[in-house]
Structure 1
Amino acid sequence: MPKVCANLTWLFTELPMIARPHAAAQAGFGAVEVLFPYDENAADLGNAIAQAGVELALINCPPPNYADPHGPRGFAAVPGEQARFQQAFRRALRYAGALGAQRVHIMAGVAEGAEARQIFIENLRWAAEFAPKQALTIEPINRIDMPGYFLCDYDQAADILREVAVNNLHLQFDAYHAHRITGDVIGTWEKTGHLVRHVQVAGFPGRHEPVGSDIDYKAFFACLRRDGYDGWISGEYTPAGDTGAGLEWLKTC
């Protein structure tokens, strides 16, 4: 049985956040993720997740600008922002602890060049050593959707993971971004799948349900099964209509 996860920032938005864990459980999801839970009362959200009987697979580190929902995400690779990153990471840890989040996604932010790469590596190493029991991820994000995002390539991500060289930092694989970056989701998985501990899916174009899109999800899910991937597969997409009406993809993975 695949381990399917619902991204509550994207799914079940017809409901208030506090009601979404229950809706996800009723729909057949075993876990949820919340991109930025920081506007929620941690105790209330944690109780809602626990009462729904689902796990919290992942949260992101806080964004640099809450006022702009489409603005840059993260600043772990941004020169001059090391102190701010450490403060934000500590906040993410507090929420991860209160909510029981299995993984924390560290976002690189908008940056470029060798200095940004070195700062990203130093911040990742600091975070991994500061919280050795907390599982962490990094994720390549395409620069069409997020212009200037530092971590925008899978070879780049693999090189950084090798250089940081810690046991609690892994790759987050979003098939939508992989398609936009490389045009070859399966080939990219075959190169980097051994580094992956969390998978996200969405269709292309449109970033709707992962069915009937340019991405061959039947073949991709077969690759995950073949390789023994046992992490969560999270739906991170904008439903084309009502969330519950677009969950046929759960039967295909």
Structure 2
Amino acid sequence: MPRFAANLTMMYTEHAFLDRFAAAAKDGFKAVEFLFPYDYPAEDIRQRLTDNGLTQALFNAPPGDWAAGERGIASLPGREAEFRQSVAKGLEYAAVLGNQKLHVMAGLIKPEEPRERHRAVYLANLAHAAEEARKAGIGIVIEPINTRDIPGFFLNRQDDAQAICEEIGAPNLQVQFDIYHCQIVEGDIAIKLKRDMQRANAGIGHIQIAGVPERHEPDLGELNYPYLFELIDTLGYAGFIGCEYKPKAGTSAGLGWLKPYL
């Protein structure tokens, strides 16, 4: 049976952030994820998790200046020191919140910028992040993101992400397989899940879902999610599936798809 984590950045936005934990628990979620926790003391979030019997599944390391349009700094030349600080900050929060996965965003690249230089910086930074996370017993995940939602994002394809993880060779470095992004860029979801879940190295460390193309509930759009959930179970995936979608109306009203899995 798949285990779902409510994404509190996109879901339950009708509530203040710290009140979303109780709302998710009331609807039957046992875990949550979100983009960033850094506007709140880690202890305050930990208390909301404890009060509502929730597990923290995932969040992102600081991504640079998000408000100014930055979407990660892991591949950005000249930002290595800042990247190391961001990893340290993410691990500091993870130690309190208890999640076993930390997502590191690659960042943006302009068409005229040298891709190989960005890739070299990315690999060196990821090797550092994986080593620091290993000391804390935490996994690092990287995510291919479609260029329609984030134009210029450095990492777009599942095979590229897997190749990077395999090249680095850290046992705690894996790919975050967002089915929404993968469908937009590549399609052929089931085959890629089978291919990457069964890899001896790297593999899939976290899964996220949303309906395609509007990024609403997973029962809206072109994908057959009940089939994919059964496949994910068959493949032996034991992690959480993050519900990173924008509810079409109220969050709770759109959870009919979830009821068979509670």
- Please indicate the TM-score interval, normalised by the length of the shorter structure: over 0.9
- TM-superposition CA deviations, 1:90-122 (whole Å, max 9, x none): 111111112222210011001261111111111
| TM-fit CA distance, 1:81 | 1.0
Matched, 1:105 2:109: no
Q: Which amino acid aligns with 2:80?
A: Q
- TM-superposition CA deviations, 1:174-214 (whole Å, max 9, x none): 11001011022212212222311211100012100000311
Pairs within 5 Å for 1:46-195: 46-68=46-68, 71-111=69-109, 113-132=115-134, 133-194=137-198, 195=203
- Structure 1 Cα separation of the partners of residues 132 and 144 of structure 2: 23
| TM-fit CA distance, 1:248 | 1.6
1:66–1:151 CA distance, 2 compared to 1 (3 A): closer
- Structure 2 Cα separation of the partners of residues 94 and 235 of structure 1: 24
Q: Which amino acid aligns with 2:74?
A: A
| TM-fit CA distance, 1:52 | 0.6
- 1:237 corresponds in structure 2 to 245
Q: Which amino acid aligns with 1:203?
A: G
- Structure 2 Cα separation of the partners of residues 74 and 67 of structure 1: 12
Q: Is the 8 A contact 1:182 1:188 kept in 2?
A: no
Structure 2: gaps spanning 5 or more residues: none
- Structure 2 Cα separation of the partners of residues 247 and 235 of structure 1: 11
1:247 match: secondary structure: helix
Q: Is the 8 A contact 2:6 2:33 kept in 1?
A: yes
Q: Which amino acid aligns with 1:42?
A: A
Q: Is the 8 A contact 1:72 1:146 kept in 2?
A: no
Q: Is the 8 A contact 1:173 1:196 kept in 2?
A: yes
Q: Is the 8 A contact 1:185 1:215 kept in 2?
A: no
1:173 match: secondary structure: strand
- TM-superposition CA deviations, 1:35-90 (whole Å, max 9, x none): 1111112211110011110100001011211424xx23111011111111001111
Cα RMSD over matched residues?
1.3
- Structure 1 Cα separation of the partners of residues 86 and 248 of structure 2: 33
- Structure 2 Cα separation of the partners of residues 170 and 249 of structure 1: 28
Q: Is the 8 A contact 1:178 1:188 kept in 2?
A: no
Q: What is the TM-score normalised by the length of structure 1?
A: 0.95
Q: Which amino acid aligns with 1:8?
A: L
- Structure 1 Cα separation of the partners of residues 76 and 159 of structure 2: 20
- Structure 2 Cα separation of the partners of residues 46 and 63 of structure 1: 22
Q: What is the TM-score normalised by the length of structure 2?
A: 0.92
1:38 match: secondary structure: coil
State the identity as a percent. Answer: 42
- 2:33 corresponds in structure 1 to 33
| TM-fit CA distance, 1:252 | 5.2
2:67 match: secondary structure: coil
Report the more deviating stretch, 106-115 or 137-146: 106-115
1:5 match: secondary structure: strand
Report the more deviating stretch, 53-62 or 243-252: 243-252
Q: Is the 8 A contact 2:194 2:235 kept in 1?
A: no
Report the more deviating stretch, 77-86 or 186-195: 186-195
Q: Is the 8 A contact 1:218 1:252 kept in 2?
A: no
- 1:20 corresponds in structure 2 to 20
1:191 match: secondary structure: helix
Q: Is the 8 A contact 1:104 1:137 kept in 2?
A: yes
- Structure 2 Cα separation of the partners of residues 9 and 64 of structure 1: 18
Q: Is the 8 A contact 2:162 2:174 kept in 1?
A: no
Q: Is the 8 A contact 1:208 1:237 kept in 2?
A: yes
